[in-house]
Homo-oligomer: A and B are copies of this chain.
Amino acid sequence: MRARGGLAPEGYDKYAFEPFAVTVDLAVLTVRAGELEVLLVERGQEPYAGRWALPGGFVLPKESAETAARRVLAVETGIPDLSRLHLEQLRTYSEPDRDPRMRVVSVAFAALLPDPPEPHGGGDAAQARWLPYGSVGPLAFDHERILADAHERVGAKLEYTCLATSFCPPEFTLGELQRVYETVWGAVLDRPNFRRKVLATPGFVEPVPGAARLTGGRGKPAALYRAGGATALQPPLLRPPSEGRPS
């Protein structure tokens, strides 16, 4: 193979390479009412027309993958405020046959968005919606795999980082924070122990003085907290051991 015309500038003439399309795909997660939800778009055209898929699109010539990810998400879901979006590169999926039409290399991102805003379809997306993580049917392309990888990555990161606050509104109760862990991990945690751990980690959360909120109207009002300055948890807050994951 030789490089195609116009694509091999000075210095690359002796190289044989094929130009690929480079895209981004986003697995955007959120927690609403104790349920883990994923932001999906309905494909408007073949292949997989009518199927749900992760939001995604081509990287433009002057963009990095990160920049493209934010743009694509804004276009396909119409969500106006992405300032609280937590974006993190997951990995790149490059199997030659992952798109039946042509060679597409996709840089995938795991993303978190608190307080899930209503999305609208846009761009190539017929519609965009939050769907419960457990009930996503078969997705287009290899998006199911990407989504599962993102879920695993986020679950692991909750263990040793302060990422969980990215799922929460600016001010939150410890109960809400705990529900983030429980929802992502699919496990139940002991409340007093969770409290102790979070409060004992310097910089994880800081109290909002004098503020309290009733969670759902019942029970004792809970104190409010903000995210602290720390990013790492040491020692980590481990998931309860389950039979599903290998030790």
Chain A positions within 8 Å of B, measured between CB atoms, are: 1, 4, 6-7, 9-12, 14-22, 45-47, 57-66, 89, 91-92, 94-96, 101-103, 105, 107, 124, 230-232, 234-236, 238, 241, 246-247
Contacts and interface: CB of A to CB of B under 8 A. Distances in A.
Contacts of A91: 89, 91-92
A21 B21 contact: no
Contacts of A103: 61
A17 B21 contact: yes
A99 to B, nearest CB: 10
A96 B246 contact: no
A94 B16 contact: no
Given A231-B246, A234-B247, A246-B232, A105 B105 contact: yes
A96 B22 contact: no
Given A1-B60, A7-B21, A20-B59, 18 more contacts: A7-B102, A15-B57, A19-B19, A22-B22, A22-B94, A22-B105, A59-B105, A62-B96, A63-B96, A64-B95, A65-B92, A65-B105, A89-B92, A91-B91, A91-B92, A92-B107, A105-B105, A234-B241
* Nearest 9 pairs of A and B residues by beta carbon: A19-B19, A17-B58, A65-B94, A18-B61, A92-B92, A20-B22, A64-B94, A92-B107, A89-B91
Nearest to A7: B19
A101 B234 contact: no
A234 B234 CA distance: 14
A198 to B, nearest CB: 15
Nearest to A203: B247
A1 B46 CA distance: 22
A10 to B, nearest CB: 7
A206 B230 CA distance: 38
A235 B232 contact: no
Most buried by B among A10, A19, A236, A247: A19
22 contacts: A7-B21, A9-B102, A12-B101, A15-B124, A16-B60, A17-B21, A18-B60, A19-B19, A19-B20, A20-B21, A20-B22, A20-B59, A22-B22, A62-B96, A64-B94, A64-B95, A91-B92, A231-B246, A232-B247, A234-B238, A234-B241, A235-B235
A11 to B, nearest CB: 5
A61 B96 contact: yes
